[in-house]
């Protein structure tokens, strides 16, 4: 908060001179309020708190997107993120816009692991974009409720993970999407599995296991 003192002597003198009156010195006190936006660290703390609030909302893991418009991928992101590939999933590295692509099950559904700097449009923005990819039109109220109700857990690497199953939002949508958002200190990780609704239901446990295995 900044407090600014302004003298209006010159303005008063000019005004009084023009109207033939006398000029009196007047001091006016102004209060200027500056509100700083939340820092990245503050936003991260909020998301981590959300994840810790529901530590048992997802079943225990078994033992062991392409891109956001205009956002460049994080350089060498794969060097700082590791995972355990679910049984039967086939890794297909080599796309410069992704950390990894997995081919999933007999339907050959596609699961992508990507990373981008910052918040990349926020949770609602990404959910709305993904809904558009499966031709799903959502009222803003429904989207906001969906965004506030992820399944949450902490990964093996201590990352806060928010999982969204579009089948919960639109049970009849086909194809459908399973997606996870993991906000890290310097970037956001996304895991997104897109494919036939029945295939995604069969692979949900494997998807969850992949997300839980993410670590530095």
Find all residues with CB under 8 Å of 118, minimum gap 6, and list them: 40, 187, 188
60: nearest Cα among 198, 211, 216, 167: 211
Residues 23 and 68 in one domain: no
Phi, psi torsion values for 106, nearest 5 degrees: -60, -30
Are both 45 and 147 inside the same structural domain?
Answer: yes
CATH code for position 206: 3.40.1000
The answer to whether residues 97 and 17 belong to one domain is: no
> From CA 150, how far away is CA 165, in angstroms rounded?
8
pLDDT per residue over 47-56, tens digit each?
A: 545 444 433 3
Closest among 75, 53, 23 to 153, alpha carbons compared: 53
* Whether 10 and 73 share a structural domain: no
> What's the domain range around 116?
40-212
Chain-wide mean pLDDT for the chain?
Answer: 76
| pLDDT the model gives residue 31 | 54
Shared domain check, 83 and 24? no
pLDDT at 26: 67
Range from 10-24, 27-41, 80-94, 180-194 carrying the lowest mean pLDDT: 10-24
Q: Is the pTM of this model over 0.85?
A: no
Residues 110 and 185 occupy one common structural domain? yes
pLDDT at 61 over 50: no
Q: For a pLDDT cut of 70, what percent of the chain falls above it?
A: 63
Q: What are phi and psi of 189, to 5 degrees?
A: -95, 145
Same domain, residue pair 68 and 161? yes
Report pLDDT for 146. 96
For residues 188 and 156, membership in a common domain is answered with yes
pLDDT band at residue 9 using 50, 70 and 90 as cut-offs? very low
Q: State the pLDDT confidence band at 79, using cuts at 50, 70 and 90.
A: very low
Residue 9 sits in the same domain as residue 53: no
> Do 118 and 91 fall within a single domain?
yes
Measured on CA atoms in the order 29, 30, 31, 34, is the torsion positive or negative? negative
**Same-domain pairing of 206 and 137:** yes
Q: Do residues 82 and 130 share a domain?
A: yes
Higher confidence at residue 131 or residue 121?
A: 131
The count of structural domains within the chain is: 2
pLDDT value at position 64? 25
CA 196 – CA 173 distance, rounded (Å): 9
Could you give the CA distance from residue 160 to residue 181 in angstroms, rounded to a whole number? 8
pLDDT for 200 = 97
Q: Which residue has the higher pLDDT, 75 or 193?
A: 193
């Amino acid at each position: 908060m900044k407090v600014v003192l302004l003298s209006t002597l010159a303005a008063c003198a000019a005004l009084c001179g023009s109207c033939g009156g006398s000029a009196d010195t007047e001091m006016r006190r102004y209060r200027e309020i500056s509100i700083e936006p939340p820092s990245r660290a503050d936003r991260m703390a909020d998301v981590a708190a959300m994840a810790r609030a529901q530590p048992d909302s997802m079943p225990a893991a078994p033992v062991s997107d392409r891109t956001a418009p205009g956002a460049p991928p994080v350089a060498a992101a794969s060097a700082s993120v590791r995972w355990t590939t679910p049984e039967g999933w086939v890794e297909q590295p080599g796309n410069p816009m992704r950390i990894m692509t997995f081919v999933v099950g007999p339907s050959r559904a596609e699961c992508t692991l990507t990373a981008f700097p910052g918040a990349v449009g926020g949770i609602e923005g990404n959910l709305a974009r993904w809904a558009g990819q499966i031709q799903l039109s959502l009222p803003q109220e429904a989207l906001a409720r969906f965004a506030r109700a992820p399944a949450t857990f902490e990964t093996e690497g201590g990352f806060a993970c928010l999982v969204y199953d579009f089948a919960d939002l639109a049970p009849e949508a086909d194809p459908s999407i399973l997606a996870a958002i993991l906000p890290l200190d310097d970037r956001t990780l996304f895991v997104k599995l897109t494919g036939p609704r029945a295939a995604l239901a069969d692979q949900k446990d494997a998807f969850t296991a992949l997300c839980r295995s993410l670590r530095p």
